[in-house]
Each structure stands twice: as structure tokens, then as C-alpha cells.
A and B are shown apart, each in its own frame.
Chain A
Amino acid sequence: MTLLAQYFVTGIVTGCFLILATIGFSLTRRVEGFLNIAHAELLGVSAFVTWGLNVKAAWPFLPSAIFAIIFTAVVGLVVGRLFYDPIRKLGPAVLLISSVGVAYVIGGSVDALVGTGIRTLNIPLATTYRFFGVRITDYQMIVVALAALTGLSLAVFMSKTKIGLAIGAMADNPELAASRGIDILQTSRATWLLSSGLAGLAGVVLALIATLSTDLAFHQILQILAVAILAGLGSLYSVMLAGLIVGIAMDMSVFWIPAGYRPLIAFAVVILVLLVRPEGLSGRKSK
């Protein structure tokens, strides 16, 4: 029973990481209207910038992390302006295929600069705490706290600020938003900055809880897709719920089936959701 509870808790941590990784992806999907495969590569960019500053340049962790997040946000904006804006009229399928090319470019650049091998950040070792026999490390608690904090502040941002409301309006109906005097171009740029910044945050978290290798980023995209598809085109809250479901399902599955099949759970979620309920948890149909 304790073992099952342990898997459940680990699942929550995984779920919280997935939430952080997917919020940005889901935002792009709603506002720009396509699945950005290259989103996961931005996690890699952020994780390796953090590593470069923290280990190679011997900066303390926090400034390196903040710099990495800002840097990733700018990279995301530039990529969006340079690669996606000119082809937006060609439709979501072409944008999706192009994003594979973008993923190649970003992933290849990270590979060329960093090289293969396994790396860790220069931070203190994790301290483990026990609650009723269930172990959790301080870094894992930070992940959960960050996910909760990000979710909350994003919810406030989207419902209270002018830019947040504009992004929401554009996600729902771009033509109507434009006719109501919302600056589409500016809103789109704000979205790229925001979603890439969130990818940056997720990348920092990844650097915190995982060992870094250059193929790390690619492995995240499948889980991000699973969460995004399960969440559907809905609000922030469906992404958070979907992230927790996928995370807990993946980690608890290890209790019954061999651990090698853990990633399979994410794909099974994609297939099942698309076959049974293509609109996802939120129930909104795509346009």
C-alpha cells in the first residue's frame, strides 16, 4: 500500500512538471491554432542555458535560471516571427509539419553547442523527507509549488490584465477579436513570449529534477502531446487536470506493468482520447 502511495506521490510530481511543460504548448495551440512540435526543444534550450551558466560560468542557480527563462522566451518569439508567421495562412497541418523542421534546427543547434553526454547542475543534493512512509525530496516539492504558483498567477493574468484578456479573446475567435479593436499582431507576440517563457520555466524544472542529455527534449514532446490532447482546447484548468491524470497514470502504471512500458501510457492516452472523445476533457470542438 505504501508503495502504491509512493507511486501516487511521484505521479503528482510528474504531473506538475507536465502541467508546466504543457501550459505554454496549449496556449500556442489555442491562440496560433496549431501543434508546435518544437515546443519541447525550447525546454532543452532553457535547461542547457541554465546548465551552461550554472556549471560553465559558475553563476549561482537562481540568476542562471532567470536568464535562461528570459532567453528562451526571446528565442521562442524570434522563432515564431521568423518561421511561423509567414506561413500561418497555409493552415494547421503545414504549420505542424514545419514545426518538425524547426525542432530539427533548434535541437541540432543545441547538439552542436553542447555535445552528447550526461550532465547535472551544480546544486546541493536533494534532501529527502518522509511522510507516513512516503518519500519526497525538496526539489520535488519545489516542482509542485511552482506548478501551483504558475497556474494561479496565469489564471489571474488571463482574467485580470488587458493582454491576458486579449489573448483569451484571440483564442476564442480571432476575427471577432480583431473587429473589436484588439491588436492581433501584438497579442500574438505576447503569446509567443508567454508560452516560450513557460517552456523556459519547465526547462529549468527539468534541469532541476533530471539528468541532462541532448535527446532529453525530444522525449518530452510525446507526453506534452498526451496532456494537451487530453485537455482539449479548453481552459487552463483542463490542462492542469489532464497533466495530473497523465502523470499519475504513468507513474502508478509501474505498479502493475513493467517500467519499460511507462511512456506507453502517454501514447495510449493520445490514442484513446482521440478515438473516444476527440474534444478532450474541456469538451470544446476545434474550429
Chain B
Amino acid sequence: MNIEQLLLAVLTYGCLYSVMTVSLNLQYARGGMINFGTVAYFAAGAYAYAIFTQEPPSGLDQYAFGFNSPWWVGFIAAGVAAFLFAIVTGWPTLRLRGEYLALTTFAFAEVLHSIFLNERRIGNGSVGLSNVNRPDFSWIGMSDNYGFAGAAILLLMFTAFLCHRILASPYGRAIDAVRDDETAAEAVGKDIKRLRFEIFVISAVPVGFAGALYAMITTLVSPGLFTAEVTFFVWIALILGGEHTIKGAIFGTLALILFEEVVRSFNFETVRSAEIAASVEHIMTGIIFIMILRWQPFDRFTKKEAVQ
């Protein structure tokens, strides 16, 4: 792998995952909600995109729906799917706090994963949907790789802008107030249930868009791609970046993706050594994660910024 490809991959996937990290930042660092099911909204978006854009089933296909729509319809459908799934999962669970919310969202994500795996009429079960349609970038004279990198950057900019606007507004102050002290926020007349629900649902939409973009880039959606690993990855990236700021979330994700891509770009002589490298990558990630949570090196720095 040459340097250009490596950088392009880091940029594309880094921005794509950053969309999730930034949304999670809105939910956790600002809204105080621990969502351990981020991958579910990502998967919902990816599947919605694939289902809307693929051709109607034929031959050996087991899926029931294919609408053959243009890519932008699928893209919008992805956002709507994540939005709806967030309403379904958020409405009953948001009265739970802390670790209990983490567990229910985690369980919901596993339920969705299990449904995609077992219900063949949605997306061919464990085989998944391949040859997902992707938009063509030739009309503006760009190769696919650069086109998708650009799309990922645009999506990230849109998400960051949205989050920034929300948090800089009086509405954002209300969210901070709910996180810091629910009783006090309620005492000054904030509807805390509603605020939490709104933040939960709004922040799921960009994750759905990211899912659609991911489906375009990989041209494949299958349950194996959307496991709890994705959720953990986003969490590690968020903690790595120092929790409280949009910038931090983006840098954390880019750093983690760079680390992964560099490890993957080595050529290994045997399968066993590649396996060991992958395990060591896991161990390193875990240790970094634990160390950051323990010493919280960014905490003082970010608190200052959050006050501004």
C-alpha cells in the first residue's frame, strides 16, 4: 500500500467514523446519555440505503424488497431509518440512567443485529446484500476514491456544524443544564425528558447518513460488518479525543483510524503473524483506552473550553 492510498483511506474512514463520534459526543458528553448501541443506527442507515437502491429480487435472492431508487432517495431513507429506530429505542429507554441505559441500548443493537442475521427477507441473512449501487462521480471528473473521501468530509462538516449550532444556542445551554443537574434544570422549567429524547433522536440521523455512505463505499452490507465492535471503536475514539469537544472527537477518531490502517498496511509472511498483529492491535487499543480513562489528560483542557 502506498502513502497516497493510506492517507485517502484514513481520510475517508476517519471522517465517516468521526460522524458517529461527533454524534455520540452530543449524546454522551453533552446530553449525559451512554449509548452503547451506536452501531444499530449505523446499520439501520446502511440497510435502508441498500434496500432502497437495489433492484427488485430475482433468482436466488431471498430479500423481499428492492425499490431501485436513485442514490439520493436511498440516502434520505437512511437518515429516516436511523431517525425512526432512534424514536423506537429512545422513547421507552430514556428514563433509564447511566449504566442501565448503556445496557438497554446495547441490547437493542444486538436485537437488530440478530434480526438482520436471521430474517432473510430483509437482506439475505448472513450473506448480506452485495453490489450495492453507488453514485457516479465521473460527471465532476473525480475518481471514486476521491469522490467518497470528499463525500465523507462533507458529511462530517455538516454533522459538526449541526452539533456546533445546537450546542451554541440557548437550546444547547439547556442540554448542558440537564446533564449537570437534572433537578435544577427541571426547577427552572426545562422539560428534561423531552430534551433528552430530542437530542437522542437528532444525533441518530447523521449516524444513519454515515451508514448509507459506508454502504456506498464498501458496496456490501452484511450483519458481520455491524457488530458491537463498531460501537466499542467509536467509544474508544471518543474517549481518546477527550470527551467534550467536537474537535477532540474528530482528532480521536482520525488518530485511531490511522493507527489501525498503519497496522493493516504491513505485509505479513504468514497467517499466524497477521493474527498476532491483529491481537496486539486489540491489546494496544485496550491499554490506551484504560490509560486515558484513568489519567484523563484532556479533562482540564476541555472543561475550560466547554465553559466558554
Contact = CB atoms under 8 A, between A and B. Distances in A.
A is bound by B: yes
Interface of A: 34-35, 83, 86-87, 90, 92-94, 96-98, 100-105, 107-109, 111-112, 115-116, 222, 225, 229, 258, 260-261, 263-264, 267-268, 270-271, 274-275, 278
B290 to A, nearest CB: 4
A101 B111 CA distance: 23
B98 A101 contact: no
A175 B115 CA distance: 46
Given A87-B294, A267-B110, A93 B34 contact: yes
A1 B110 CA distance: 32
Nearest to B292: A101
Contacts of B281: 108
A103 B93 CA distance: 26
Closest 3 CB pairs of A and B: A104-B286, A108-B282, A101-B289
A109 B92 contact: no
Given A86-B294, A260-B117, A268 B111 contact: yes
Interface stretch (B50-58, B66-74, B270-278): B270-278
Contact of B110 (A93, A103, A104, A222): A222
Interface of B: 34, 92-93, 96, 98-100, 102-104, 107-108, 110-111, 114-115, 117-118, 232, 235-236, 239, 272, 275-276, 278-283, 285-287, 289-290, 293-294
A264 B108 CA distance: 10
Contact of A274 (B100, B275, B287): B100
B92 A275 contact: yes
A276 to B, nearest CB: 10
Most interface-central of B92, B100, B278 (chain A CB within 10 A): B100
B271 to A, nearest CB: 9
Contacts of A111: 275, 278-279, 282
A103 B282 CA distance: 10
Most interface-central of A35, A102, A104 (chain B CB within 10 A): A104
Contacts of B290: 83, 98, 101-102, 105
A270 B285 CA distance: 28
Contacts of A101: 236, 285-287, 289-290, 293
A109 B276 CA distance: 9
B286 A102 contact: yes
B95 to A, nearest CB: 9
Contacts of A96: 34, 99, 102
A254 to B, nearest CB: 13
B114 A261 contact: yes
A87 B293 contact: yes
B99 A35 contact: yes
Given A87-B293, A222-B107, A229-B103, 18 more contacts: A35-B99, A83-B294, A93-B34, A93-B99, A100-B289, A101-B287, A101-B289, A104-B282, A104-B286, A105-B282, A105-B286, A108-B283, A260-B114, A260-B118, A264-B115, A267-B110, A274-B96, A278-B100
